[in-house]
Amino acid sequence: MVKDPGRLVEIDVVDLRFPTSRSLDGSDAMHPDPDYSAAYVVLRTDIGDGLEGHGFAFTLGRGNEICVQAIRSLWPLLKGLVVDEVLADLGTVTRRLTSDSQLRWLGPEKGVVALATAALVNAMWDLRAKRAGLPLWKLLCGLSPEALVAEVDWRYLSDALTPDQALDLLRVRVPGKAAQEARLMESGLPAYTTSAGWLGYSDETVRARARDAVRDGFTYLKVKVGADLDDDIRRCAALREEIGPDRRLMIDANQRWDVGQAVEWIGHLARFDLHWVEEPTSPDDVLGLRAIREAVHPIGIAGGEHVQNRVVFKQLLAGSALDFCQIDACRVAGVGENIAILLLAARYGVPVCPHAGGVGLCEMVVHLAAFDAIAVRGEDPDRVVEYVDHLHEHFLDPVVVARGNYRLPDRPGYSTEIRPETLSRFRFPDGAYWAEDRGVSGQPGAATTTDADLEGAPT
């Protein structure tokens, strides 16, 4: 009798929400009240080795349930597939998810259906790395150039980068990979902190957190701007005073401005010696970003956390609209699409500075940044990875940042696994936290959509 191969048999999907809006953690000019949330997937097999894949997409609260449903809608495309075949060819499986003849109408390759794809693909990569007994970054670094190129969906890219050109980029790194890995194990990856400068924080909090960051060894800090120019000038002045002239200061407008307004506003803040301006306008506006970039030079333009797929990244990079490429672990179609974006950034010589403002994003992007530093772009003095110090305690393998540098993870997997007690406590709306919240206040929880909640929300 032929033994049945192990198959993907089941997923749990959890609507997980943290009440971060209550402390204004994560607040910015467009998102004043985020509840950091995850549409969280646990992927199970019938192999019996106890290994599960964990992945998620990040959202800000309301609407997380739509992402959860989209994951459930995609799951039939994976259910019953043979585990070994899936994990050996995640490029093909990812394309299966992005190419479904009916579901693709919801995107294609953008919006909620793309977030849901990211959650599932990330879970599959987590499972692959766990079964290999390696942290994800090390698994990726151990793949041959040919194997990495096979993970990429090359549709729509050939005018900017071909598979053969990508192979050339990757082969250049092969002889130096071991030495670079050893160096990074020693030094870590440079991090910057956003935790001093959320828009909802008082000036006193901003100053205190900046002093903490300097004491902790950070040499880059980022502050949210874009709601009120006088406030921005005052906060940038305070931050520059706290961090001194030699540390780098970045600002993030979270898409707040039109092009002309951005140029004018940035002009008022340029005196604070800005390293970059992040998302000054719409993330889709390639021409606008390029115009701003040309006008505010030598201040750099950063973006990418809301860029929906590799095709838009191609335009931003080939079109000279970005100085810093901010990949996101959960917005595009998971690891494979991020490999494509890392290759495009390397092709155009743009440093990759991953976005990590959210729950679990720090845990994930450190893997992608390490892979980039070892096997794709290699050494780059401008690579700096975002760090926010929220919610790490909920992860089984939380990031470690010491003296302003990420340590490389050493546990097998993608560091995506959330503690079971967290899943039961913060599951929305019936987890213990949200149930207690309703009981105590007699009102719906902060993440429940009501007309009152929507008042004052950005439009």
**Which of 95, 173, 165, 189 has the alpha carbon at shortest distance from 140?**
173
| C-beta nearest to Mg ion: residue | 252
d(CA 321, CA 262): 14
Annotated catalytic, 130?
no
Helix/strand/coil for 438: helix
Binding mask 138-167 for Mg ion (x = CB under 5 A): ------------------------------
Q: Binding segment for Mg ion among 213-221, 252-260, 263-271, 343-351 (CB under 5 A)? A: 252-260
Q: How far is the CB of 370 from Mg ion (least distance, A)?
A: 21
Contact 346, 377 (CB under 8 A): yes
Please state, in angstroms and as integers, the Cα–Cα distance from residue 115 to each residue in 119, 255, 413, 415, following that order.
6, 20, 20, 18
Binding mask 81-110 for Mg ion (x = CB under 5 A): ------------------------------
Contact 382, 362 (CB under 8 A): no
**Which of 443, 442, 426 has the alpha carbon at shortest distance from 434?**
426
d(CA 330, CA 356): 10
Give 107-150 as a DSSP string: -SSSHHHHHHHHHHHHHHHHHHHHHHTSBHHHHHHHS-HHHHHH
Q: How far is the CB of 455 from Mg ion (least distance, A)?
A: 25
Q: How far is the CB of 130 from Mg ion (least distance, A)?
A: 30
Sequence-ordered strand ranges (E) for 145-236: 189-197, 220-224
Sign of CA dihedral 24, 29, 32, 37: negative
Q: How far is the CB of 33 from Mg ion (least distance, A)?
A: 16
Annotated catalytic, 355?
yes
Q: Which of 54, 224, 275, 314 is catalytic?
A: 224
In the range 271-290, which residues lie near Mg ion by CB under 5 A? 278
Q: Choose between 19 and 357: whose C-beta lies nearer to Mg ion.
A: 357
d(CA 355, CA 287): 22
Helix/strand/coil for 44: strand
Q: Choose between 91 and 304: whose C-beta lies nearer to Mg ion.
A: 304
Q: Choose between 170 and 250: whose C-beta lies nearer to Mg ion.
A: 250
Q: How far is the CB of 458 from Mg ion (least distance, A)?
A: 15
Q: Choose between 72 and 306: whose C-beta lies nearer to Mg ion.
A: 306
Number of residues near Mg ion (by CB under 5 A) = 2
> Residues with Cβ < 8 Å from 380, sequence gap 6 or more?
351, 352, 373
- Provide the β-strand partners of residue 303: 325
Q: How far is the CB of 272 from Mg ion (least distance, A)?
A: 18
Q: How far is the CB of 59 from Mg ion (least distance, A)?
A: 15
Q: Binding segment for Mg ion among 232-240, 270-278, 292-300, 334-342 (CB under 5 A)? A: 270-278
Q: Choose between 232 and 278: whose C-beta lies nearer to Mg ion.
A: 278
Answer yes or no whether residue 386 interacts with Mg ion by CB under 5 A.
no
Q: Choose between 278 and 372: whose C-beta lies nearer to Mg ion.
A: 278
Contact 360, 58 (CB under 8 A): yes
Q: Which of 31, 138, 222, 355 is catalytic?
A: 355
CB atoms within 10 A of CB 403: 11
d(CA 284, CA 308): 8
Answer yes or no whether residue 181 interacts with Mg ion by CB under 5 A.
no
Q: Choose between 38 and 123: whose C-beta lies nearer to Mg ion.
A: 38
Both tokens assigned to 375: 């096997």
Q: Binding segment for Mg ion among 140-148, 169-177, 251-259, 336-344 (CB under 5 A)? A: 251-259
Q: Choose between 25 and 278: whose C-beta lies nearer to Mg ion.
A: 278
Answer yes or no whether residue 252 interacts with Mg ion by CB under 5 A.
yes
Q: How far is the CB of 252 from Mg ion (least distance, A)?
A: 4
**Would you tell me which residues interact with Mg ion (CB under 5 A)?**
252, 278
**Catalytic positions:** 224, 355
